[in-house]
Structure 1
Amino acid sequence: MGKGGKACDASTQNRAAWLHGVNDLRIQPYPLPPLGPTDVRVRMKAVGICGSDVHYLKTMSCGDYKVKEPMVIGHECAGIIEEVGSEITSLVPGDRVALEPGQGCWRCDRCKEGSYNLCPDMEFFATPPIHGSLADQIVHPGNLCFKLPDNVSLEEGAMCEPLSVGVYGCRRAKVGAETTVLIIGAGPIGLVTLLAARAFGAPRIVVADVDDHRLSVAKTLGADQVVKVSFNKEDVASEVEEIKKAMRKGIDVTLDCAGFEKTVSTAFGATRNGGKVCLIGMGHCNMNVPLTPAASREVDVLGVFRYKNTWPQCIEFISSGKIDVKPLITHRFGFSQEEVVEAFETSARGGNAIKVMFNL
């Protein structure tokens, strides 16, 4: 995958959505790098908008990552193989594939032990200075392209990226048939985490959020109970009691898909003694939370950063019907300058928009 500013020598007929500045997205030529022996060239067909993409558009940063030069946006994607490198044997032109957007170095200790998502030299679509995938075509390692069964659409293939976050969070927390689950936050990641927890067999799932519409969507997608909460930190104690009543028994695992000081405090308070709190959302960097009381109750805290080895399971969940991601795709746009701008504004406004998808 091409780094920002790196010279490329392929056709300039290829186009991509380039981020130039705050609220400045432009469709411009995107020359592709040469096709390596283990690479494939993919024609993009479905690309979703993630919250991190919106952060970059609105602030030119996301967490510690800063956009310092024009960058191609987008990382939730699927497409059709156009060309394969000389050493690729598992894929052929015409194959429909979902793309995993992050490539580890495969040399460091984290990669060698299998935790490539923690690689310090990770190259990840649309994380500066790595270019993303909202383009007509891209070049990507073949081993990060996963063939889709006939009954899985390209849009569903693109949804494997956000779904992977929920699947990996459930894996980290060991969600299963005897695990009661609280999910805090009913945005796109909270909703795919709900779908994943149900697919892993969780017998009872409660979802908490501040927004009535999102809670209604969570209920439609299979939440056993929903609880409306507030932004007010003083409401934590009363809301914890309300959440516990909704669960009807102890909460084994809380998956915080928001990551704010209040939501983490709520997670610690609601989770049973000896339970687990899995931190998926990253809303606040520094927090003042009741960690010592949680530690005294032996509540385990688990961090989640992206995912690893999740695409095959996500595809199987979708193909088998255990997970239906289609209801999450609420808006669709084409790949013109006007539609790209409108799509990102739609995603940024929130409201009834859950997943905004480009059909290229």
Structure 2
Amino acid sequence: MAPQPHGPTGLPFDDIRSLLTSMPGPDEAALAAVRMREADLTKPAGSLGRLEQIVEWVAAWSANAKPRVDRPLVAIFATSHGVTRNQVSAFPDSVNRQMLENFAAGGAAINQICVANDIGLKVFDLAIDVPTPDIATDDAFDEAGCAATIAFGMEAIVGADLLCLGEMGIGNTTVASAVLNGLYGGSAEDWVGPGTGVDKAGLARKTETVRQAVARHEGHLGDPLEVLRRLGGREIAALAGAIMAARLQRIPVLLDGFVVSAAAAVLHRLDPTSLDHCLAAHVSAEPAHAEVLRRIGKAPLLDLGMRLGEASGAALACGIVKNALAIHQGMATFEQAGVSGKVAGPH
């Protein structure tokens, strides 16, 4: 369990925009080497479908012609939200602290997935006992606070070679819905879903809260960073920073569910290439998640009807990535196995 430090001071928004334009691209040499080996493995070309694409993705974004995942990390950013005073969630704010204690004790679902798949786990407490302001009546951050939280997320992922991003915080699907409504427009109903399982009345309150929040900030929503600052939460800002830092450190990223995708969408609106090093681990049961993935151009690896958060879908998808790499590295070539290759056609 990692507590929130008192720093760093953060980056001005203009510096964040500039940083996004200078992100490294894929390593073409590593990609070519993987494709050459793939073509010579003892199987029909393309027969492993997306597993082959996953290997190429890891190679290209880790800059490794012999791609491996030895130090996968689940990073969960946890915080609380003043918007819960509007009764938008099925659970009380006290669950936030209780779930941090559950993570630390090894009792959460994500703990079991990490153990089963040999994945490291870090949980970051983003001032969980101090809720952000209610976005229906106030800005979530000032610019300095938002930039500092993005910077914190950038510093939180040292030592990983595959990053599985997740979150926890009562009320954060409300905040994520507001961010997405601010980024993409439409009505609040387009983006609001049941989250942790609110009833019909709770869903109506949640929808009205998002409507009020977005309307309050109308005129300031053309800039994705302003959308994040005004309508977001600490976990969404930190997740955006972690995604950026992973690109700079050449760490492939698995995006978890609806809230993580909202953070990714902020970056995608700033620069559509900013998520090229990311895969969508799964599509959650939150109704608008599939639409978010469509807009950021990500086809999910899994569809299990999950809506837990905690990076649970990303951690499960990590197992698929590991299997894809093991197949690629461990299979024999046609020559090694003494297996006849594909017969050439007549000339």
Give the TM-score, by structure 1 length: 0.28
